[in-house]
Amino acid sequence: MKSANSFNEFAEVYLQQDLRRMEKMRINLRKTWWWWLLLIGFILLFYFFVVQPVQLDQEEGQEWYTKMAYIGIGLLLALGGGMLIRNLLIRQFIDRPRVELEADYKEKVVRTLLHFWEPGLRYDPDHCFSYEDLVRSGFFSAEGTYYRGNDLISGRRNNLSFRICDLVVTSIPDGRNIRRQQELLFCGSCGVLESPRFFDVPVYVFTKGVIPRGELRLGHHIQLPDVAFNQQFTVFSPDIAEATYLLKPNLLKHIAALKYAATVQVFLTFYQQYIYIGIHSGIDYFELNFNCSLTDTGRMYNELVAFGHQLDLMGNVQKNVSIWTVAAFSRS
């Protein structure tokens, strides 16, 4: 794990110039946005407090419904003008520069930070896991589930390859009408580690009190010797001996580190040739926050630390040789 001091030194040398440039662009975009809001507000106020009263005075002798018709027409014109400003002018002067700034941030800042954290990582800001990966994890149901993601990071730890991405998963209660209010199932980081061993039966580790909605073979509720771990997590598996043999104390320590805040929910599945990791934090990592200064690198470091905990877990799995012994293979 990189220290905060080494991160700050790296950011000062390699990122400050780009961050200062992007910070100026961020401030200008926010100013432009507020100016457009003030302009739209001024137009509406001018219509309701100047144009409309004058119009009603001039039409004092007309019928009430005629006056209401004029009010309706004026309101439609005001709304139409507001939509024109929103769809044409704001899109040109705010939305498009914002998208360009976000892409520049990921290419110049995020990619550089990931290379600093662990050289050799591959970064694709526009892609995420496949639908098959999500279903195999058991975290999510295959029906009525919709997902979007980005920031796909992939690499290898010796003979173990892994993929990590940001993910948002929602569901529709009746599974049919996508325009209905969607229920948030997951928002955070998800990882897939390709194991050198085939797990014939699944082993699940979930935050205590939370069970995903996917297709699960839970089996037995297993109590581990680590009392503190049992207070935070629940372990399930059809094979008790398999789970206790796999979940060694050092591995439990790295799993516990994934729950870096009280509100974070952690899901792990060891099944077939994959190890799946889900961290439901409510945070979409590695995104440009237009409400925060880019020159304050503390938020970036915190995001990298959360990402680093997943790498540490993968490193521990790779080093835990007892899991990959012939005896272990014979168990599944």
Instruction: Give yes or no: residues 142 and 33 share one domain.
Output: no
Work out how many domains the chain is built from and give that number: 2
Q: How confident is the model at residue 200 (pLDDT cuts 50, 70, 90)?
A: confident
Q: How confident is the model at residue 176 (pLDDT cuts 50, 70, 90)?
A: low
Residue 19 has pLDDT above 80, yes or no: yes
Domain span holding position 184: 122-330
Q: How confident is the model at residue 73 (pLDDT cuts 50, 70, 90)?
A: low
Sequence letter at residue 75: L
Write down the pLDDT at residue 209.
Answer: 87
pLDDT tens sequence across 292-325: 888 888 888 888 888 888 887 777 776 664 555 4
What's the rounded mean pLDDT across residues 269-273?
Answer: 88
Q: How confident is the model at residue 177 (pLDDT cuts 50, 70, 90)?
A: low
Instruction: Give yes or no: residues 298 and 161 share one domain.
Output: yes
**Contact status, residue 78 vs residue 43, Cβ threshold 8 Å:** yes
**Domain final residue pick, 84, 99, 117:** 117
Instruction: Give yes or no: residues 24 and 154 share one domain.
Output: no
Greater model confidence, 37 or 102: 102
Instruction: Give yes or no: residues 183 and 51 share one domain.
Output: no
What's the rounded mean pLDDT across residues 184-199?
Answer: 84
Instruction: Give yes or no: residues 99 and 135 share one domain.
Output: no
Write down the pLDDT at residue 326.
Answer: 44
The pair of three-digit structure tokens given for residue 175, joined into one six-digit string: 């599974």
Q: How confident is the model at residue 157 (pLDDT cuts 50, 70, 90)?
A: confident
DSSP letter string over 287-303?
A: ---TTS-TT-THHHHHH
* 101-110, 143-152, 157-166, 252-261: range with highest mean pLDDT: 101-110
Instruction: Give yes or no: residues 91 and 18 share one domain.
Output: yes
User: What are the distances in angstroms from CA 85 to CA 77, 88, 155?
Assistant: 12, 6, 45
**Domain final residue pick, 117, 152, 169:** 117
Instruction: Give yes or no: residues 191 and 268 share one domain.
Output: yes
Residue 61 has pLDDT above 50, yes or no: no
Instruction: Identify the CA nearest to 328 among candidates 247, 216, 256.
Output: 247
Write down the pLDDT at residue 125.
Answer: 94
The pair of three-digit structure tokens given for residue 257, joined into one six-digit string: 């580190």
Across 141-258, the runs of DSSP E, i.e. the strands, are 145-157, 160-171, 183-207, 220-222, 233-237
Instruction: Give yes or no: residues 185 and 292 share one domain.
Output: yes
CA distance 122 to 152: 8
pLDDT averaged over every residue in the chain: 79
Instruction: Give yes or no: residues 156 and 301 share one domain.
Output: yes
Instruction: Give yes or no: residues 16 and 138 share one domain.
Output: no
**Domain final residue pick, 82, 98, 117:** 117
pTM above 0.85, yes or no: no
